Amino acid sequence: MIVRQALANGRRLLEEYEIEDAPLEAEILLRDVLKKTRVELYLELDHELSPQQYYAYRILVRRRCRDEPTAYILGRREFYGRDFLVDNRVLVPRPETELLVEKAIGLARDYETPLLADVGTGCGAVAIILALELPESIVYATDVSGDAIRVARKNCQKYEVGLRVHLLRGDLLEILPQSVDIIVANLPYGCNADLPSTGPVSAEPRLAIDGGVDGLEQIRQLCRQAGSKLRPHGHLLLEVGLGQAEAVAILLHGLFPEAQTEIIPDLSGIDRVVSLSLF
Ligand SMILES: C[S@@+](CC[C@H](N)C(=O)[O-])C[C@H]1O[C@@H](n2cnc3c(N)ncnc32)[C@H](O)[C@@H]1O
């Protein structure tokens, strides 16, 4: 079996199971088995695979056919230019969350030694990027899930930020030991009636995607707690889902009438982040 045939077989099987982007998925899985870059793979299309390599590849393709997310199969996902360890205990970080990180970094640059909190840290990607991009910062990373905290701890070890990223298990902001300059949160915002029962998202922890009846249960709760955990002139940055930004902005305006509230769209024009800046 040569690389070209293996790719075609993988693609065909993925297409049979109606997996989106089957050609790309087939390629990513084969590259993982062969440990090749994209360019190397395409330069070696006529190279022979060993029976062991082909067998290993078939196993990965079959896992993907059963709706397991590619990131769980590979055990990693790239976020903000770095690889994070992920498995079925945490949400797979999404590219749209990079906007939240970018905005937080922009705001934090105004502080000499920014103190930040990442609420609902999951695999820790947001907190770790903040710590790496802001070398003088301290970041509290909280999650209610003990499993998520364990995955985040591994990522903190990988990036050697254990001294500046403090992992705390608890509900929203209750566990924070002090007020902070900036709170960022990508909390679950899926409406529970709309959560998919098939596809890769259905393999992710329910705790990470279920935001209650209207998707805003945890976000609402966090907004109510934020006043007591933000320092004067502090900022709150929240990632929200499609069509939720206005409701969150109205809620924040009601809770903090003196503060400035802003809705920030992502690259596809979806209102993705709601920010609150205290005076
Ligand atoms: C959408 S995931 C985001 C994970 C990660 N921050 C990211 O952006 O990839 C939401 C995370 O919030 C956590 N979570 C859900 N409810 C929570 C709560 N009440 N307090 C703290 N964390 C919570 C979940 O366990 C999950 O890890």
Nearest-CA residue for atom 17 of ligand 1:
144
Please tell me the distance between residue 187's alpha carbon and the centre of ligand 1 in angstroms.
Answer: 5
Structure tokens at 269: 């024009």
pLDDT (mean) for 189-205? 89
* Number of the ligand 1 atom closest to the C-alpha atom of 218: 19
pLDDT (mean) for 258-266? 97
The pLDDT of residue 40: 96
Please state, for a pLDDT cut of 90, what percent of the chain lies above it: 95
List Cα–Cα distances, 279 to 12, 101, 102, 179, 256, in angstroms.
58, 22, 22, 15, 10
pLDDT (mean) for 170-194? 95
Mutate-to-test residue for ligand 1 from 85, 98, 218, highest number of ligand atoms within 8 A of CB: 218
CB atoms within 10 A of CB 269: 7
pLDDT (mean) for 85-96? 96
Domain ranges of the chain: 3-66, 76-277
Mutate-to-test residue for ligand 1 from 121, 176, 220, highest number of ligand atoms within 8 A of CB: 121
User: What is the C-alpha end-to-end distance of the chain, expressed in Å?
Assistant: 66
Nearest-CA residue for atom 24 of ligand 1:
208
Q: What is the CATH number of domain 76-277?
A: 3.40.50.150
Mutate-to-test residue for ligand 1 from 83, 129, 144, highest number of ligand atoms within 8 A of CB: 144
Task: Name the pLDDT band for 279 (thresholds 50, 70, 90).
Answer: confident
Q: Measured from the CB, is residue 93 less than 6 Å from ligand 1?
A: yes
Q: Decide if pLDDT at 207 tops 90.
A: yes
pLDDT (mean) for 223-236? 97
Mutate-to-test residue for ligand 1 from 145, 171, 201, highest number of ligand atoms within 8 A of CB: 145
Task: Name the pLDDT band for 104 (thresholds 50, 70, 90).
Answer: very high
For residues 198 and 83, the model is more confident at: 83
CB crowding 148-186: b at 16 or more within 10 Å, else e: bbebbeebbeebebeebbbbbeeebbeebeebbbbbbbb
Contact 182, 114 (CB under 8 A): yes
Nearest to 25 by CA among 10, 47, 46: 10
Nearest to 149 by CA among 169, 131, 164: 169
* Number of the ligand 1 atom closest to the C-alpha atom of 120: 12
Q: Decide if pLDDT at 196 tops 90.
A: no
Residues 44-80: tens digit of each pLDDT: 999 999 999 999 999 999 999 999 999 999 999 999 9
Please state, for a pLDDT cut of 70, what percent of the chain lies above it: 100
Q: Measured from the CB, is residue 120 less than 6 Å from ligand 1?
A: yes
The pLDDT of residue 135: 97
Task: Name the pLDDT band for 99 (thresholds 50, 70, 90).
Answer: very high
pTM of the model: 0.94
Please tell me the distance between residue 26's alpha carbon and the centre of ligand 1 in angstroms.
Answer: 30
| Greatest Cα-to-Cα distance within the chain, rounded to the nearest angstrom | 68
Q: Decide if pLDDT at 200 tops 90.
A: no
